[in-house]
Structure 1
């Protein structure tokens, strides 16, 4: 795939962020998500790809656009699979809290794990400790291994965990081991990526979150040389049946980043509200500034991009 496609994807996430950024703190997560989805879908139409959404807003009868199976792009080569979350952290955006992003990833046809809309247990870290993590080990043991790989003390590590009752035991074990914890209310894609960025202040992301979000995080971590492991968590027989229909028959399989995102992968994200990874949209008279990250697995190039947008020349925003 053309390496310039990476910068085209930034246009997609920027458009989504600029649109939903108007809804930050207004308490309407549905309106924010709709704004991001419409802008992302509209911008994708101008990209030179023949894309199929495999991770998106839900099934066709659940979502008006960017639904699983939808065709996007202008129909030209290359043929790609697309994973999107037009607004990751809808509640965060609606409440004006930190860490919401817009995000997209592409891979060659068949490159993404077709993750059902269910839970996934995850652990993610950066390149230095990618070979040290093991999702089958207790949190304390993973912390010791990561600290050794990073040549620091466990007490120096910061772990991001979703603030959920299901994580109470894990949080207790992490605290007992001596590591610091950053509890977040929603949105675990950005923290997973931040764990692979030097100087972000995040060393690990651990816990159970959405499986589709796990695929997006895996795409980014593959591009960065980081490590991620995930395992589906089934809450009902219906979820198992749905996984079977999507081609998943080993319910205990541990997926590596390379299993969830194969081939030449591109990833882009733009901040909506500021967080550990990206700054949020900042509006000024006549325009706005955005902060994005874009990367490609083949070259392992990671770019942080600050862009200024002038609405007299971008009237769609």
Structure 2
């Protein structure tokens, strides 16, 4: 399944929206909650980018390395999600140091196993739609940590829901509803479908669903002043999201036109694809909303 126009658009939207929100939240306030959320959003964007470029590079070694990096980024994404949840609902200080240390040590150990051993991501197998990731016999560590992190996030919210200040209730609802949808779809397509079909053919749909995090976060910022971002920023958010959409359309249009006028270039190299996308994004910023 070759990378098409819609893939470039969705990846660009998800990546730049996540990156923009991370920078916006960090610029608003440098308190711990904002910093951790920004890191969470950046790791999510990096996860999408690593998975996407793993399909663009031509060497099997490059595909394997980027696949390993994307799996490791999943671990760090859910780790920072748990930390952010605890900070956001004001229960971080109540969590024992042992539990905090346990989450950190497990994240580092599993990431090391992913990156430097064959225990979790063993190899890749090329096929007609790209490649499948062949998992190692320690893959259960990866799934267990992700499930532990998401379960902990849900437990923290549910067990402390009655103590959340009224002004934060709607923020929590929209923010974590978007996160829940994104990770549910990701788990469905990247884990369950992989097991049922014995194939990674549907993994893109799971990754693309991460755009729900950016969408619901943006809504919570605009409507409910998430992270104490002032209403005056809402207009800049709307304009910035519009620019991101136009940038993605420009990027897709450039690639589509090149496919029409240069049909021989059926597969883009890493540097070539990245350069064309960056140029298209730069052009998009000349648009004045």
Query: Whose strand proportion is higher, 1 or 2?
Result: 1
Question: Same fold judged by TM-score > 0.5?
Answer: no
Q: TM-score, normalised by structure 1?
A: 0.25
Q: TM-score, normalised by structure 2?
A: 0.27
Query: Whose helix proportion is higher, 1 or 2?
Result: 2
